[in-house]
Chain A
């Protein structure tokens, strides 16, 4: 193995001995000095996860979070110098993490926090003016062909748990009192201007938005979804600047 291969392996795995060939000018034990690098690497990666998953950290407590993150860092170190992308698979790791099996909603809270990060850094796009959307909706000739393009930051998450309520309860004084944890929720995450926003949708509205994201025309998307309040869902999209383009699809 090369010098850097040994060095890198020992940084990530505290069970490995420090690499050969290290020295210090004063003759001090190099292991103590190597430990500075090991600590820098591990703590910087754990801190990056703590910054990206603040509600998960509150849910499980700092000590548990750091221990869990240390195992994740060891098994899945970053593969890119873009740290904003690190932890993409943290939620999947949490879902499989045995010690937390009794708190099954944590993985979905992690998924929601990850979508918030993705939305925060997503590409910019100008919203369509509300009056343009209204005009398009009012034209019966072309309504069946009308398609919406949605903001690049818009993401959906279907959870078997009250993921939006749990997340929202941790934005100020954290408390889960009064939340039906097992009441599934359908989250909508988007960036409106500079702010990332999170909403709970009716199940049908979530399916409807998934159809729109796949390019389905508006009416077909609505017809192929379980019952939901279309007017209210469109009002939400318009009010939060989520519609970025109107297209007309030729029907077969």
Chain B
């Protein structure tokens, strides 16, 4: 289906993370006891930072116990790095406290905005790719990295529309942010696929334009299928289904270029039994080990 030449990268450049190059799972509160009861052989767990910005109680109790046994990736969903306004310094302070408490192996956030003025919109909203946005995003990432005293990973977005005044291609925009700010890339392969279908781009050409040497973590997830008014496929990044075969295929192509890299199976809606997610993580683990042997 794809025919592209695939340069492999120097392995040292891929070491953008302290997460092991293994499969991990998003930690769901409904699975706390499954994890502690069975202590499955997994590379790491990932949590949404905002869920743990609470004073005490079961969330901290269980995350503390699980952190003793697994590496942790802390994934923010509320910083609004692409927002037109200033970053919320209170929120940054809460992130710093969480990082101090749990010492995660990675911290990541999104190339998106989610707050405007005082209002938090609870979604990852699209950016116009132009020079003012580029300058603003880079300044915000500098502020994050300076405050947290560590490099962060920036996740490529899934988007449903574009802006007429965008002047830069999305992959080039991401490459420039990473070049200027020194942050790493959280490569969400599902987002690559979803955005490329929605904007009729070739996923492999999109990957070619991304700085794959900077990938510190990979996300895999499922999407929902819709269509626009012309009847063209419109994919929704809903994290509510198993990883699609097209995304697994693309993931294999990514691993050929990057070598094995910590890979998360993300599921936030219609969360199935823990064993079902474990089996999906095992599928990623098999591909990671294959990539390791090929390296």
Contacts and interface: CB of A to CB of B under 8 A. Distances in A.
A213 to B, nearest CB: 17
Interface string A138-158: 000000000000001100000
Contacts of A191: 57
A8 interface: yes
Contacts of A32: 228-229, 234
Taking chain B's interface residues, is the majority helix, strand, or loop, or is none over half, making it mixed?
Answer: loop
Most-contacted residue by chain B among A2, A3, A121 (CB, 10 A): A121
Contacts of B234: 32-33, 36
Nearest to B114: A81
Interface string B110-130: 000111111111110110100
Interface string B48-75: 0011011111111100000000000000
B57 A122 contact: yes
B160 A36 contact: yes
A32 B115 CA distance: 22
Given A24-B199, A84-B54, A121-B55, A79 B163 contact: no
A224 interface: no
Given A4-B83, A32-B228, A81-B77, A123 B55 contact: yes
B91 interface: yes
Contact of B57 (A12, A41, A83, A120): A120
Contacts of A83: 50-51, 122
Contacts, number: 141
B226 A37 contact: no
Interface string A175-195: 000000000000000010010
Contacts of B58: 120, 194
Given A77-B120, A79-B118, A122 B55 contact: yes
Contacts of B144: none
Given A37-B123, A122-B55, A124-B60, A29 B228 contact: yes
A82 to B, nearest CB: 5
A230 interface: no
A22 B50 contact: no
Interface residues of B, number: 50
Contacts of B115: 81
B230 interface: yes
A105 interface: no
A25 B120 contact: no
B161 A30 contact: yes
Contacts of B121: 8, 11-12, 41, 77-78
B34 interface: no
Given A2-B84, A33-B161, A194-B57, A80 B228 contact: no
Interface string A118-130: 0011111100000
A33 B56 contact: no
B164 interface: yes
Contact of B164 (A23, A48, A78, A194): A23
Contacts of A29: 228-230
Q: Which 4 A-B residue pairings sit nearest by Cβ, starting from the closest?
A: A81-B78, A124-B56, A121-B54, A8-B116
Interface of B: 50-51, 53-61, 77-80, 83-84, 88, 91, 113-123, 125-126, 128, 160-165, 198-201, 226, 228-230, 232, 234, 236
Interface of A: 2-5, 7-8, 11-12, 21-30, 32-34, 36-37, 40-41, 44-45, 48, 77-84, 120-125, 152-153, 191, 194
23 contacts: A4-B84, A4-B113, A8-B121, A23-B163, A32-B229, A33-B234, A36-B226, A44-B122, A78-B119, A78-B120, A79-B120, A81-B91, A81-B120, A82-B78, A83-B50, A83-B51, A84-B51, A122-B55, A124-B57, A124-B60, A152-B56, A194-B57, A194-B58
